[in-house]
Amino acid sequence: MKSTSHLPRLGAFAALIALLSCAPALAEDYNCYFGNTHAHTTYSDGKQMPSDHYSMAKAAGYDFYAITNHALAKYKGFTQESYEATKKEADKFTDAAFVAICGFEFSENDGPGGTGHLCALNTTGYLDATGNEVNLPVFYDWLTKQKTTVAASFNHPGVNTYDSYGYLTASRREEVQMYEVINSGKPHYEGFIAALEKGWRVAPIAAEDGHGTGRIKDTYRTGVLATSLTRENLMQAMRARRVYCTWDKNLRLQFIANGRIMGSVLASPTSLEFTVIVSDPDTSDAGDAIAKIEIVGKKGAAVASKEFASHEVKWTTTCEPKDDYYFVKVYTADKTDGPTAYSAPIWIEKAQPDSSTGGNDVQKN
């Protein structure tokens, strides 16, 4: 699934127009990169230094790896100096084959204003959840003010965490893009559906949440679709929700609707043509063969499915745009207890009959 951008083949004027239009890349222009978005070191409540994490992840074949220590004053090792040191280590380990990311975990927010942890990646600073008058709405709004390309995720979430996914506005929805459907080897699928039903536009990821380097050997990964492996490209892809979670370390997945890649929002389509592209390079392993693909809509209800027996599948089907979102579940031959991978959704934004009521609150009941 590796490919190169078509931009160099354009003429100078056409290339300029393509850049200025900021049009999304074609599906075949994306590479799949695999990594981890959540880990802790000795600077908070974990083990080993950032350099140990980054070096081990790099040696294990990860494309990217994020360190997200708890940003809490109670951890004496977590300071502005240690945060800057982690960023320097991330820069040191980043090269053409590996991207190291520094972020933090907003945690131990005990309310009022809701409870639940979140990671923020690639921030210049951090926000202590136990600070005076700091809560979830404050954190969401803090994210909107960041100057770097930042992505955020709901961590090890439940159905009713984050005050039942409250405090949602249009601007806040754009700042939390990802959801840990897999955390430390455990599924959190029901909460993912709850967040989608509340109106959050979040895409599934897999996070180790390791408090040491022990989980680097595990095989679940976050997949990111980006045109090349740079930190900025990965962060832009995460913000665009071009991500998915997989229990298999190298399963490649793309989900497309009406020519738009997963993570996109389609405005009032009259019909939907879905294309799912899945492959696993381990063709000698029969257990990695694609066994079934499901396209699901509202509340996770299946709207289409098909069985396969191949390591490389491209499937196209159509349906009426009845639901607010659609995503894909991929099943492989060796995993009998549920899907191996979940794609980012594609959202359907239906025309509103009357916009005169205005307001920025998009919370669903």
pLDDT in tens, 102-122: 999 999 766 566 789 999 999
Rounded to a whole number of angstroms, the CA Rg of the chain reads: 20
Both 261 and 222 in one domain: the answer is no
Both 198 and 273 in one domain: the answer is no
Residue 117: domain span: 25-246
At residue 21, the pLDDT reads 37
Both 40 and 121 in one domain: the answer is yes
**Domains contained in the chain, number:** 2
Indicate the residue type of 326.
Y
Both 237 and 264 in one domain: the answer is no
The residue with tokens 């960023």 is 87
Percentage of the chain lying above the pLDDT 90 cut: 84
Q: Is pLDDT above 60 for 153?
A: yes
Q: Give the pLDDT band (50/70/90) at residue 28.
A: low
pLDDT in tens, 278-300: 999 999 999 999 999 999 999 99
Q: Is residue 4 part of a domain?
A: no
At residue 234, the pLDDT reads 98
At residue 108, the pLDDT reads 77
Instruction: Kindly tell me the number of DSSP H helices and DSSP E strands found in the chain.
Output: 8, 20
Both 276 and 291 in one domain: the answer is yes
Q: What CATH number should be reported for the domain holding residue 129?
A: 3.20.20.140
Output the average pLDDT for the chain: 90
At residue 109, the pLDDT reads 66
For Cα atoms 130, 166, 202, give the angle at the middle one, nearest 5 degrees. 95
Q: Is pLDDT above 80 for 323?
A: yes
Both 144 and 231 in one domain: the answer is yes
CB neighbour list of residue 161: distance below 8 Å, 6 or more residues apart: 114, 115, 116, 154, 191
Q: Is pLDDT above 60 for 355?
A: no
Both 237 and 315 in one domain: the answer is no
pLDDT in tens, 198-250: 999 999 999 999 999 999 999 999 999 999 999 999 999 999 999 999 999 99
Q: Which of 214, 246, 278 delimits the end of a domain?
A: 246
Q: Which of 246, 279, 312 delimits the end of a domain?
A: 246
Q: Is residue 11 part of a domain?
A: no
Q: Is residue 357 part of a domain?
A: no
At residue 351, the pLDDT reads 75
Q: What CATH number should be reported for the domain holding residue 293?
A: 2.60.40.1930
Both 148 and 273 in one domain: the answer is no
Q: Is residue 356 part of a domain?
A: no
For Cα atoms 184, 190, 192, give the angle at the middle one, nearest 5 degrees. 75
Q: Is residue 15 part of a domain?
A: no
> Is residue 14 exposed (0-12), middle (13-18) or buried (19+ Cβ within 10 Å)?
exposed
Q: Which of 229, 246, 263 delimits the end of a domain?
A: 246
Alpha-helical segments (H) within 41-177: 50-59, 80-93, 136-143, 161-165, 170-173
Instruction: Record the tokens describing residue 274, joined without a space.
Output: 């879905």
Q: Is residue 146 part of a domain?
A: yes
**Calpha distance 227→4 (Å, rounded):** 7
Do the strands 64-70 and 99-106 form a parallel or antiparallel pair, or are they unpaired?
parallel
CB neighbour list of residue 321: distance below 8 Å, 6 or more residues apart: 266, 269, 270, 271, 272, 348
At residue 352, the pLDDT reads 66
Both 235 and 295 in one domain: the answer is no
Both 75 and 198 in one domain: the answer is yes
> Is residue 15 exposed (0-12), middle (13-18) or buried (19+ Cβ within 10 Å)?
middle
Q: Is residue 6 part of a domain?
A: no
Q: Is residue 363 part of a domain?
A: no
Both 135 and 186 in one domain: the answer is yes
At residue 215, the pLDDT reads 97
Both 204 and 241 in one domain: the answer is yes
